[in-house]
Structure 1
């Protein structure tokens, strides 16, 4: 029988994060759900990040520090190493960035969502819960930009299909269980982000739940500005419309990601999902009308009108059969 409040492993990747690290650590210490351990892995920081983590670990025994002694590996390898280090010793896991602020009920809300999934599908299936977030400036002032990370459409397979062409599941909003960690901790190099990979594994082999409430202040600053801000200008939008080579490279990567998912987990997928992702791989190579028909027939969209214009332009040429 599971404990009423089972421990959660929080996996935080750190690199030169001294400017905002205290705010994130404080927000974790203020969580209403107190059964957690924080695993911090530093990827070769040259600022005061290590000293800050040591300071907090001295007064909070639930904080553990891992240090990368080799050259910097980057975010993907950092989170992958954290998953390996935490291993199968916990029932639940969360990713954590170094520069955000968690709202006090973040873990509790995610765990409540996880219990809903377990009550419906059981605890042995790979399960993932994710939420919305709130964009804020570097000074934590709210940015008036609506965030809705729910998948397009309301069918059970909506997230699975949308992941063919776009990821809307952010790692900093995730809570996932041990069966998903076991399946997904070996991240292929073709996936540039750990969150895209885990979301795809969960949607392919298990179940997911999107929580509409914001649980995190997602800080935007010079070092981490996300695409809605980096590419929001008219000049950037027009440039993307005409950069066909970059669009094709992006789609080729999406196709490769789908190939990797079905090759590794096809045996665990239901026949309909396996056939659908296989058809996407085939038509993405040829492009043209077959690809357009496939997207329309299966209602596979991205989140915004501009994103869908770019998607259909890209899909017309295809990626080539490699």
Structure 2
């Protein structure tokens, strides 16, 4: 398909058709609520593109029944559906198959979208005009029964590069890309072990796109016992969990992301190339190079405590990165990103 024009007027973009990208895997218990939330969207110009990643429960039957209900033109099964690829590759396959859309929204199978989600995303993305743009938002964290809601963290700072390498704020269940941003992500060579939302945030930021964070929550983010990572926990428990996990996965994933960007640095902005060179010198060099990298005012996490922990880990990263790394490559859960985000 030919990518949609990124020069569409803002008014036209607000009324654009949206490709909802849904990768399913043994999601029968929660899928109906998510599918109904698509039908409740105030922005009705959407088409659901789904790919099953090797389910063994009733997921595929539920999806095909939904297609019969809304029409095959509104619920389209990917021709690649069936083989198990893992969450990242499954979502990226859907993205590459649907680059003709003006906007592409990732959806997780066990969440519930609030009715204004697509409307708000398109309203904000329309401000980006002809540049790559990524929309993301806050969420209500809820339990398995969609109760006991608590609001996810606010991000009042300026998102972008290289802060995106230290922390993911683009939760995949809220993420919407315009056509230009989707094209960037689709053509980037991703590192092993990454996740679709964090990698999208990194690529769009490093290539000069806009990151548009909506402080209004748009999703009921269901946390349940089947989440391998990202279970509902109070802040202090998540902080202790991050300390127990330690820096190995976090710092190695930072190195992988940085090295992957370096292989395609022609797409990066001049400032991003400069920051990336300093950061990689710190990751691969000695203490002086690491101290120099930490002086970069854009290499920051959200809070002072997080920055202190990050600085300690970064200054001692050579010891961590020298050891053999059992990483995220084999983790099939959609919730890999929050583990790194909260480290």
Q: TM-score range by the shorter chain?
A: 0.7 to 0.9
| 2:153 counterpart of 1:148 | yes
Among 183, 192, 195, which residue is 2:194 paired with?
Answer: 192
Q: TM-score, normalised by structure 2?
A: 0.81
CA-CA distance at 1:228 after TM superposition? 6.6
CA-CA distance at 1:305 after TM superposition? 4.8
Number of the residue aligned with 1:10: 20
| 2:207 counterpart of 1:207 | no
Number of the residue aligned with 1:36: 46
Partner of 1:139, secondary structure, is coil
Which aligned pairs between 1:148-167 and structure 2 lie closer than 5 A?
A: 148-150=153-155, 153-154=157-158, 158-167=159-168
Kindly provide the CA deviation profile for residues 104-133 of structure 1, in whole angstroms up to 9, marking residues without a partner as x.
000000000011121xxxx2x211111111
Change (3 A) 1:256 1:149: farther
Count of residues in Structure 1 that have an aligned counterpart in Structure 2: 307
Change (3 A) 1:30 1:11: same
Change (3 A) 1:289 1:249: farther
**d(CA) in 2 for partners of 1:129 and 1:103?**
15
Kindly provide the CA deviation profile for residues 144-166 of structure 1, in whole angstroms up to 9, marking residues without a partner as x.
3x422526x34xxx421211212
Kindly provide the CA deviation profile for residues 10-54 of structure 1, in whole angstroms up to 9, marking residues without a partner as x.
000100001110000000011000001000111111111111111
Change (3 A) 1:21 1:242: closer
Gaps of 5+ in 2: 1-7, 323-343
Question: Which region of structure 1 is more displaced relative to structure 2, 246-255 or 55-64?
Answer: 246-255
CA-CA distance at 1:69 after TM superposition? 5.9
**d(CA) in 2 for partners of 1:127 and 1:306?**
30
| 2:16 counterpart of 1:21 | no
Change (3 A) 1:113 1:287: farther
Number of the residue aligned with 1:262: 262
Indicate conservation of the 8 Å contact 1:92/1:176, yes or no.
yes
Q: TM-score, normalised by structure 1?
A: 0.86
**d(CA) in 2 for partners of 1:289 and 1:139?**
51
Indicate conservation of the 8 Å contact 1:39/1:65, yes or no.
yes
Gaps of 5+ in 1: none
Indicate conservation of the 8 Å contact 2:225/2:231, yes or no.
no
Q: CA RMSD in A?
A: 2.6
Which aligned pairs between 1:40-119 and structure 2 lie closer than 5 A?
A: 40-61=50-71, 62-66=74-78, 68=80, 71-86=83-98, 88-118=99-129
**d(CA) in 2 for partners of 1:105 and 1:259?**
38
CA-CA distance at 1:249 after TM superposition? 4.2
Number of the residue aligned with 2:177: 176
CA-CA distance at 1:137 after TM superposition? 0.5
